[in-house]
A and B are shown apart, each in its own frame.
Chain A
Amino acid sequence: MLTEAKRVTKFVLQYFSANLQSAMEYRGAFLSQIIFMFVNNIMLLFFWWVLFSKIESLNGWSFQHIMRLYAIASGAYAVKAILFGGSFSLSSTIAEGGLDFYLALPKPVLLHVLVSRSFASAWGDLVFGLAIFLLTVSPSIGMLLAFVILILAGGLVMTSFAVIAHSLSFWVGYGARLADELTEALLTFSLYPEGIFSAVTRWVLYTLIPAGFVSYLPVRIMDEFSWPYVGLLGFFVLGIVLVARFIFYRGLKRYESGNLVVTNAAG
Chain B
Amino acid sequence: MQLVRAGHLKKYLQVAEISLTNRVVYLADHFASSIFLLLILFIFSQLWRTVLGAGGTLAGLDSTGMLWYMVFTEVIVISTPAYHRLVSDEVKSGDIAYKLNRPYSYTLYYLAAHCGEFAIRFVTNLAIGAVFAYLTMGPLQVAWAQLGWVIISFSLAMVLTFLMNFSLALLAFWFEDNRPFFWIQSKLVFIFGGMFVPVEAYPAGLRIVSYLLPMRYGVSAPARLMVDFDYAFLWQVLLGQFIWATILSLITAAMFQKGVRRVHVNGG
Which positions in A face B, CB cutoff 8 Å? Answer: 32, 36, 39-40, 43, 46-47, 50-51, 53-55, 58-59, 177, 181, 184-185, 188-189, 192, 195-198, 201
**B202 at the A interface (CB under 8 A):** yes
Main secondary structure of the interface of B (DSSP, over half): helix
Which residues from chain A contact B103 at a C-beta distance below 8 Å?
none
Contact B191 A43 (CB under 8 A): yes
Which residues from chain B contact A188 at a C-beta distance below 8 Å?
36, 39-40, 43
16 additional contacts (CB under 8 A) given A51-B197, A196-B47: A36-B180, A40-B183, A43-B187, A43-B191, A46-B191, A47-B196, A50-B202, A53-B203, A54-B58, A55-B51, A58-B50, A177-B32, A196-B46, A196-B50, A196-B51, A201-B46
Contact A185 B39 (CB under 8 A): yes
- Given known A184-B36, A189-B43, contact A50–B50 (CB-CB < 8 A): no
Assembled-state Cα–Cα distance A189/B46 (Å): 12
Contact A50 B201 (CB under 8 A): yes
Which residues from chain A contact B190 at a C-beta distance below 8 Å?
43, 46
Contact with A along B16-54 (1 / 0, CB 8 A): 000000000000000010011001100100110011000
Q: List 7 A-B contacts (CB under 8 A).
A: A47-B196, A54-B58, A54-B201, A58-B50, A188-B39, A188-B40, A197-B46
Shortest Cβ distance from B47 into A: residue: A196
Q: How many residues of B contact A (CB 8 A)?
A: 21
- Given known A40-B187, A188-B43, A201-B46, contact A51–B51 (CB-CB < 8 A): yes
Assembled-state Cα–Cα distance A91/B70 (Å): 33
Which positions in B face A, CB cutoff 8 Å? Answer: 32, 35-36, 39-40, 43, 46-47, 50-51, 58, 180, 183, 187, 190-191, 196-197, 201-203
Shortest Cβ distance from A201 into B: residue: B46
Interface centre among B46, B183, B203 (most CB of A within 10 A): B46
- Given known A36-B183, A181-B35, A188-B40, contact A50–B47 (CB-CB < 8 A): no
Assembled-state Cα–Cα distance A55/B201 (Å): 12
Choose one: A43, A46, A58, A192; the contact of B43 (CB below 8 Å): A192
Contact B203 A195 (CB under 8 A): no
Which residues from chain A contact B191 at a C-beta distance below 8 Å?
43, 46
- Given known A39-B187, A47-B197, A177-B32, contact A58–B40 (CB-CB < 8 A): no
Which residues from chain B contact A50 at a C-beta distance below 8 Å?
197, 201-203
Which residues from chain B contact A32 at a C-beta distance below 8 Å?
180
Shortest Cβ distance from residue B264 to the other chain A in the assembled complex, whole angstroms? 27
